Amino acid sequence: MTETISQINENDTSIFSCLHCKLSPISKATGSATFTLNDSLCTCLLNGPGELRQQQDAINRLQVDITFQARPGNNNTNSTSTKDKLIEQWLETLVRSTVLMEYYPRSQINIVMYEEQNLSGEATILACLCNTLCLTMLDANLPMKYAFAAVPIVQHPTKGLLSLPKTKDELASTSYFVFVFEITLNDILATHASGDFDMKILEQAISIAQPIARQIFQFYRQELEKRLT
């Protein structure tokens, strides 16, 4: 439950200084995690397999309920904007494909995600949310097929492709890519790429992102080891 800052390995450069994590900050929930990626901070909590409400039917699978709450104050209304709905739906497909749904028939899990701070654009917050979600599910000990990690990459007009961009670079960039990798074969589970680019740039972005995803998985391992010792 202590806040940990991972040690910087001599071989890998600055990525671990961009990532911070705190497991189980919310003690009442089944699983929760707070994750920081550069300037974005997210908290996620999960309430584990429990009873199903009568209206929903989930005969032989788990029912997943995700709510995403953006930082209040950016938009004037209290309700979820369509941008947040898009993020919610995308994350729901991630959870559905990761968790072994057949193990919990007629139950539901509730996941609530809070975006606490987002100074940069869309790529970092999306990646931060994905990673927070994975850490939360690991913290809650849900049976998963694989762990996943998201890497944000932006295309800066002068500096080219940057991974894990700083705020200033991201706000000046034209297109962004968010790739979600899975741990077993390092294949891409999900993508959201927006802007103006072609397949060559996409290929370059994927090849930049793959080693970074491995480092993020290493970070997960370190965090969970620290928790268990």
Partner 1 sequence: MSIDNYEELQKFIDLNEHYRTYLDEHNNTRPDGRKFHENRSIQILKKFLQHSYGSSMIRFGNTTVICSITGQLAKPSLKSLRSGFIQTVVLLPRTQAWSTYGRRQQIINENLTLSQHLLDIIYKSKLINLEDLCIEEGKWVWCLQIDFQCLNNDGNLFDSCLLALNVALHHTYFPTVKIDPDTQKPLVYTKELKHFQYNQQQEPLCCTIAVYEYEQEYKYLIDPTLEEENIAKCILHYVLLKNDQICLIHKTSGAPFSIDKFHQCYSFAREYILELRRNLNQ
> Shortest gap between Cβ of 86 and partner 1 (angstroms)?
4
Q: Which is nearer to partner 1, 202 or 224 (CB)?
A: 202
In whole angstroms, give the CA distance from residue 220 to residue 176.
24
What's the DSSP call for residue 26? S
> Shortest gap between Cβ of 150 and partner 1 (angstroms)?
11
Q: Which is nearer to partner 1, 9 or 207 (CB)?
A: 207
> Shortest gap between Cβ of 117 and partner 1 (angstroms)?
22
Q: Which is nearer to partner 1, 7 or 54 (CB)?
A: 54
> Shortest gap between Cβ of 222 and partner 1 (angstroms)?
24
> Shortest gap between Cβ of 94 and partner 1 (angstroms)?
4
- Residues near partner 1 (CB under 8 A): 55-57, 82-83, 85-86, 88-90, 93-94, 96-98, 175, 180, 182, 185, 187-199, 202-203, 206-207
> Shortest gap between Cβ of 142 and partner 1 (angstroms)?
15
C-alpha angle 94/99/103, rounded to 5°? 150
User: Which pair of tokens denotes residue 100?
Assistant: 């072994």
In whole angstroms, give the CA distance from residue 190 to residue 200.
19
Query: What DSSP string runs through 50-71?
Result: EEPPSS---SSSEEEEEEEE--
In whole angstroms, give the CA distance from residue 155 to residue 39.
18
- Report yes or no: 130 and 149 within 8 Å, Cβ to Cβ: yes
C-alpha angle 190/193/199, rounded to 5°? 100
Q: Which is nearer to partner 1, 26 or 190 (CB)?
A: 190
Q: Which is nearer to partner 1, 23 or 133 (CB)?
A: 133
- Report yes or no: 105 and 59 within 8 Å, Cβ to Cβ: yes
Q: Which is nearer to partner 1, 172 or 188 (CB)?
A: 188
